[in-house]
Structure 1
């Protein structure tokens, strides 16, 4: 089964989100490494609106109060706007909403900005906030809140400091430093340690909503495309796994003309070819085994008669030949059993079979001798299977365990309930097989030569017959080595009702 972390869908979505993250990281790096971030170019409309409105309000409050209260006024606006305010005059004198002063480089830039304005006493009103109405005698703005000017003033100063790291912007405001004097210009500075200024420079929420909308739309557009690729591949994976288990009646229906459709047609063609090949192989094995049966029987009969009529060394030679013929007859019989087990699964009818009496009948019939075989299957265990096929499978497992591990200890046969299935387990106490060969044990004619060879009677078809019989009963079979020794074969069948 494919892990979610390694599926094609996960990988495609991971690359998609990685692309978004890298794009966002590049934008963030651009702002981080710029010595002077031009906020106005990116967010000019929002900065101008908020800065101009704050400048009008603060200028009005400052001009209505004596200079000794200006620090308190800036502090009040700081609490309201969640940014720091500072006021720099042309002579370098500063008022700040905090106890400290702006860095020297900021003050120098502010004084340079103020120096670019018109001479003192000749400050036209529109230089600060655009066309507006000023008092005819005092020069103080009339109702700046109720009558906003139609034009927007661009910020007069935008910069960034690194020690401390802060973002600065500023706008000129009209000031009455003396009731009897004309309007003077001062630079109102706004600073924050956040690039957004806590929403004063620009509000990130609309941008986040836009980004979220783009992300959502992208995901909604990508998911059908990805599913259109991964779903057919998933169905093909399940089909090929079934084919690998011997289910050649699987057909993949993918009416597509792209690469996936061509892959489905290729798998269907491969399945039909494999099915024909396997059927031909089974038919060949059955025909050859059947045709060899009669000649071998006649040879055995003739050698038996010849053995009785010879003496001395000739009789010994005849016995050796007869043993070879008996071994050949055993091989032919196993080939016949294997070919008969390889029958069409659809023609097999599954019945409710009680495991305990079936296992006990096999033990009694095999007559293993002094080998201790323990039938520990509970009497109430029922499975769905064909009795003849299951009997043949259990008999082969018992003979296999008795032959290769019978002298090492008892052979246990027991059953376990596993959800909707029943596991019939045959466990011996022998040396087991090399771990690298466990997966090959159920292949026809395979023998682990280090512990099991033809001299001990094996031809490599016993477990192959077990596998065929169990799969015909719609079950599965597996094998594993014990710890520290022993060998276990597990047959998994559907639970009987």
Structure 2
């Protein structure tokens, strides 16, 4: 089972996300340790302000109500804030509210140590804000801690509120099983907003850098693919002063050297083939003279020799055709072509005795290189007749779609092994089934086809048919 492919751009962003997650976990662990040790530091910020505001609100509201209505008022606060509210006396005993089991560590905090003159009258909160009115009086004693098993969060504030039966001030205790305390102890939303803003800002900072790297690698990969297809003139604009820039220079140098090497090999091949034409022609002339003076016993040997010379001549001719196919765009001019007429001429030349069924509209036209297209279709049809003509009709279809003319030549023969498909258009490549002298050619027919199609700015592909046969598709721009 193959591993799923992830683009490099996504991989870098994922690692960036993992990095942020690790930092967030580290921060969370640090804050958790701080919360476990002491939460008093939170009272100097918004948490302390909110607890003090709740204390003022409770003090003002309860002071204006009879004591018998206090439990109902505390219950409303519980529903509103999703936190347990209870009132305790200055001695640490609960006097009102939902019953709670106070841990030993919280009991000392409930005892109000203020003197009799330290209790200013309650202040009415600012309407609609829940905040306290400004005052020069010192803030009331507050506390916030984590205690109990299971652990809960306990917050309290000593109020300027007393019972009718006891003139000592009361303490408001708020209990929650989470650090947020319904938003009273800790408001997580600003932290979420901060984390989101940090993530967005980091992504905006990183994205140009990552996109620059992945975009350059994408262009480099595209150029390498073009070079692998034989386009040795492809170059990558450096544009960078780092390792990627050095890599692009290396790719450009490799493409230049490969281009020179392949051009040298093609020139040598063409020169050798051209030089072989003269001795082969002289040998054929000499063989003709010898045949005229030969005896009947020598005729069989001379016939075999003549067949070998003819095979050598055809091979040299194909090598020359392969070498010249590269310069077709310089030697031919594009013209309007009636495709139906062109293919009929190719059939008459290459497959006059074969069963070929043509499915091409008579009015179909395209603008391309006539000679190159004629040679490409002829080579494919010749192969189909040679290897699959005895297995059934050969079908030639053509259609125009998305600005391209697609020509499909399909047979019903044995085809080729699937592993041979990617190499069919390589020079001198022949599948094992085509290596016999009686049926196999030089291995240049489809290579010449590819060069002719590329001269027409098109592409050629091969695929196997089901249940048997093979199909060659030529796609050429219509205009």
Query: Do Structure 1 and Structure 2 share a fold, with TM-score over 0.5?
Result: yes
1:70 aligns with 2:57: no
Cα distance in structure 1, aligned partners of 2:356 and 2:383: 12
Q: Secondary structure at the match of 1:425?
A: strand
Instruction: Evaluate the alpha carbon distance shift between residue 353 and residue 191 of structure 1 in structure 2; reply closer, same or farther with a 3 A threshold.
Output: farther
Q: Secondary structure at the match of 1:159?
A: strand
Q: What CA deviation, in whole Å up to 9, does each residue of 1:109-159 have, x standing for no partner? A: 4433235x43xxx64565xxxxxx62xxxxx43557434456555642422
Cα distance in structure 2, aligned partners of 1:43 and 1:311: 123
| Partner of residue 434, structure 1 | 417
| Partner of residue 146, structure 1 | 133
| Partner of residue 45, structure 1 | 45
Q: Secondary structure at the match of 2:281?
A: helix
Query: Which of 385, 393, 396 lines up with 1:413 in the alignment?
Result: 396
Instruction: Evaluate the alpha carbon distance shift between residue 358 and residue 155 of structure 1 in structure 2; reply closer, same or farther with a 3 A threshold.
Output: farther
Query: Which of 247, 271, 277 lines up with 2:261 in the alignment?
Result: 277
Residue 362 of structure 1 deviates from its aligned partner by 0.3
Q: Secondary structure at the match of 1:36?
A: helix
**Kept in 2: contact 1:348–1:472 (CA 8 A):** no
Residue 380 of structure 1 deviates from its aligned partner by 3.0
Higher mean C-alpha deviation, range 21-30 or range 379-388: 21-30
Instruction: Evaluate the alpha carbon distance shift between residue 56 and residue 447 of structure 1 in structure 2; reply closer, same or farther with a 3 A threshold.
Output: same
Cα distance in structure 2, aligned partners of 1:13 and 1:43: 38
**Kept in 2: contact 1:123–1:183 (CA 8 A):** no
1:93 aligns with 2:63: no
**Kept in 1: contact 2:42–2:48 (CA 8 A):** no
**CA RMSD, aligned part only?**
2.8
Residue 31 of structure 1 deviates from its aligned partner by 6.2
| Partner of residue 288, structure 1 | 272
Q: What CA deviation, in whole Å up to 9, does each residue of 1:370-424 have, x standing for no partner? A: x211111122333332010010010000010000011111111111333222211
Give unpaired runs (5+ residues) of structure 1: 127-132, 135-139
Cα distance in structure 1, aligned partners of 2:9 and 2:154: 46
Q: What is the TM-score when the length of structure 2 is the normalising length?
A: 0.88
Residue 281 of structure 1 deviates from its aligned partner by 1.8
Q: What CA deviation, in whole Å up to 9, does each residue of 1:164-203 have, x standing for no partner? A: x754322233441235x432342x2223454323322233
Q: What CA deviation, in whole Å up to 9, does each residue of 1:438-462 have, x standing for no partner? A: 0011101101113553331411111
Q: What CA deviation, in whole Å up to 9, does each residue of 1:23-78 have, x standing for no partner? A: 33444466679983744445751111101111122133334434322211112223
Query: Which of 156, 163, 166 lines up with 2:143 in the alignment?
Result: 156
Residue 301 of structure 1 deviates from its aligned partner by 2.5
| Partner of residue 130, structure 1 | none
1:184 aligns with 2:169: yes
Q: Secondary structure at the match of 1:156?
A: strand
**Kept in 1: contact 2:232–2:256 (CA 8 A):** yes
Q: Secondary structure at the match of 2:173?
A: strand
Instruction: Evaluate the alpha carbon distance shift between residue 38 and residue 470 of structure 1 in structure 2; reply closer, same or farther with a 3 A threshold.
Output: farther
Cα distance in structure 2, aligned partners of 1:473 and 1:151: 92
Aligned pairs (5 A) from 1:114-153: 114-115=110-111, 117-118=112-113, 123=115, 126=118, 134=120, 140-141=121-122, 143=124, 145-149=132-136, 151-152=138-139
Residue 368 of structure 1 deviates from its aligned partner by 4.0
Q: Secondary structure at the match of 2:36?
A: coil
Give unpaired runs (5+ residues) of structure 2: 126-131
| Partner of residue 386, structure 1 | 369
Cα distance in structure 2, aligned partners of 1:107 and 1:326: 109
| Partner of residue 439, structure 2 | 456
**Kept in 2: contact 1:113–1:157 (CA 8 A):** no
Residue 290 of structure 1 deviates from its aligned partner by 1.2
| Partner of residue 154, structure 2 | 168
| Partner of residue 310, structure 2 | 326
